[in-house]
Amino acid sequence: MANRKQTLPPSTNHSRTSDERPAKRAKVDDINQASTSSVEPSNGTEDSNGAIQLSEDEEGLEDEVGPVQSNNEPRASDLYLDTINRALLDFDFEKVCSVSMSDINIYGCLVCGKYFQGRGRNSYAYAHSIHDDHHVFINLETTKVYVLPDGYLVSDPSLEDISFVLNPSFTKASASNLSSPSHLLKPSYDLSSKPYLPGYVGLNNIKRNDHMNVIIHSLLHIPPLRDYLLLSSFRGKESELLKRFAALAKKIWNPRLFKSQVSPHEFLQEVNRASVGKFRLEQQGDPVEFLGWLLNRLHKDMGGTKRKNSSIIFSTFQGELRAETQHVVVRPDSTGSEKPQFDIDRDIKATVSPFLFLAVDLPPPPLFQDTVEKNIIPQVSIHSVLAKYDGITTQESAGQLRRYKCQRLPQYIILHYKRFTKNAFVEEKNPTIVTFPLRGVDFREYLDAPPTHPPTVYDLIANVTHESVAGTTRDKENTIWKAHLRAAGGGGEGEKWFQIQDLIVEEMRKEMIFLGETVLQVRYPYILEYRILTYLRIRYGSDVPRTPTPRVTRQGKWTLIDSEEVYVRH
């Protein structure tokens, strides 16, 4: 290395204002050596990390030799921290070098937000620090901060917020609090002091990925799956898809975001690779198809097998369905018309298969409407479409009769309303509106279970709707997907619902939810919170109500409180 020692004329005034930062950072290792007046030429050495460590003579390119640094002055390693620009930092995008496009050993510039590879002398980050005068970099994998080109590690408490945005962490207590009503009372604020509610933030629609955004929101509001992702630290041999999905979950629920929005770019890029281009950012698609692929892929990446409860996916969403089939036999019914029916005297083939979501059929809309009713949209109730699974209603297909009934209900039920149908020429959308209550949908009629079975009442937690201009389908430019999410499991008068459409997040009236063209729903077991509170007070003997103590009966994993008529799961 050439000798860079300089001698400045004594007559030149090289004083700096307080706002100017030094061109190079002075390194002071030894007070006695720093106070020495003689300076000998010396070459720089290279440390193990590849960063050039300049000697005291080469680093002493200050305008004049000042006094020994006192303890009250700022440390030399902190001199560049004031150049960090948090408003330009965005860790949502895929971590690849902006020059070489490599994804190995990537550092982020905390001054401009760009990504560069390495920090050695021949690295792109090193060149960026010299050419652009940006000196503070963070390792995107370890969250360690370095000053380049000197290569010194910086440890400062003021950088903790950046590390948390890059890699958020949660505890069991903080994760469980996300489902409590108190979560609604604790809004967070971004850098611009804009309030937002963690978990209910907008997702960037990069091109045409809104159909995947609604699925991401719906899955990450399922408490068992959400908590599993938030509390897991995937540092081993887990799949890249699972790692990025967990990272996205932590960003969405991060209470210390710099911006009140999140981009799913990094996760969706891995989805594109894992699906071999089946689900792409620039192509509109079917959210239900994406949901089925994602659940099965996550189950596989978590080490799941065909056995039930072999992964958090199966233990949360998997149920069992019994299907009975029989060849068609046409018999006249009481009205004189002919209708295929099951014949108990003939062979009936029964099979039990697992499912991750139930598909329900919508009745076809009327072909002709009179002038009075031409603008009326047909409506059906949720129980009329769920009758497909009552074990009595039959469906005819390919010369066979089929009827279905659930053998086992999952912890969270996903319902798919088959709104789109395809033929050889076009894809059509069924505009039928399904009316449903937000709470208290009983699935006992659709379950083959004894009367002593625990409650089968489910509440709505997530709802996905589709909107488009008349005459268009989801493949057109003007299609819109929206997600309706219940906030923090609240109920009663304080119940809140949020509607999320890409970056638009707004609170909505719960009476308006069923008016949309629902495509997907997620429901969870119905529990009255005030009755559970009563049970807990009786159980632990604190603040016992004055009413007589109810008789408590244990039934496996369930506790029945007779006077309250409610089951509580342990």
348 and 291 part of one domain: no
Give me the number of domains the chain comprises: 4
Residue 20 clears pLDDT 60, i.e. is over it: no
SS3 427: strand
Please report, as a single letter, which amino acid is at residue 531.
Answer: R
SS3 289: helix
Query: Which pLDDT tens digit goes with each residue over 179-233?
Result: 888 888 888 999 999 999 999 999 999 888 999 999 999 999 999 999 999 998 8
List the beta bridge partners of residue 350: 324
520 and 549 part of one domain: no
355 and 424 part of one domain: yes
Please report, as a single letter, which amino acid is at residue 201.
Answer: V
Question: What is the three-state SS of 473-499?
Answer: CCCCCCCEEEEEEECCCCCHHHCCEEE
Domain that holds residue 222: 176-301
For position 264, which CATH number holds?
A: 3.90.70.10
Query: Which pLDDT tens digit goes with each residue over 357-402?
Result: 999 999 887 776 655 655 577 889 999 999 999 988 888 877 788 8
477 and 532 part of one domain: no
506 and 535 part of one domain: no
Query: Which pLDDT tens digit goes with each residue over 394-439?
Result: 888 777 888 999 999 999 999 999 988 877 777 788 888 999 999 8
CB atoms within 10 A of CB 424: 4
CB atoms within 10 A of CB 410: 24
E strands present in 338-431:
338-340, 349-355, 358-361, 379-381, 395-397, 400-408, 413-418, 420-422, 427-429
Q: Tell whether 58 is covered by a domain.
A: no
Residue 538 in tokens: 């009786």
Segment 535-561 shows an average pLDDT of 40
499 and 513 part of one domain: yes
Q: Tell whether 16 is covered by a domain.
A: no
Q: Tell whether 269 is covered by a domain.
A: yes
Question: What is the three-state SS of 112-179?
Answer: CCCEEECCCCCCHHHHHHHHCCCCEEEECCCCCEEECCCCEEECCHHHHHHHHHHCCCCCHHHHHHHH
Q: What pLDDT is stored for residue 162 in this prediction?
A: 94
Please report, as a single letter, which amino acid is at residue 227.
Answer: D
Q: Tell whether 15 is covered by a domain.
A: no
Q: Which residue, among 404, 513, 536, has the nearest Cα to 462 in the 3D structure?
A: 513
540 and 474 part of one domain: no
442 and 392 part of one domain: yes
CA–CA gap between residue 263 and residue 448 (Å, rounded): 44
Q: Tell whether 14 is covered by a domain.
A: no
pTM: 0.76
Q: Tell whether 501 is covered by a domain.
A: yes
Q: Is 309 left (phi over 0), alpha (psi -120 to 50) or beta?
A: left
538 and 488 part of one domain: no
CA 67 to chain centre: 54
Element (H, E) at 460: strand 457-467
Query: Which pLDDT tens digit goes with each residue over 281-315?
Result: 888 889 999 999 999 999 999 998 888 889 999 99
Last residue of a domain, one of 137, 164, 191: 164
Q: What pLDDT is stored for residue 490 in this prediction?
A: 56
Q: Tell whether 358 is covered by a domain.
A: yes
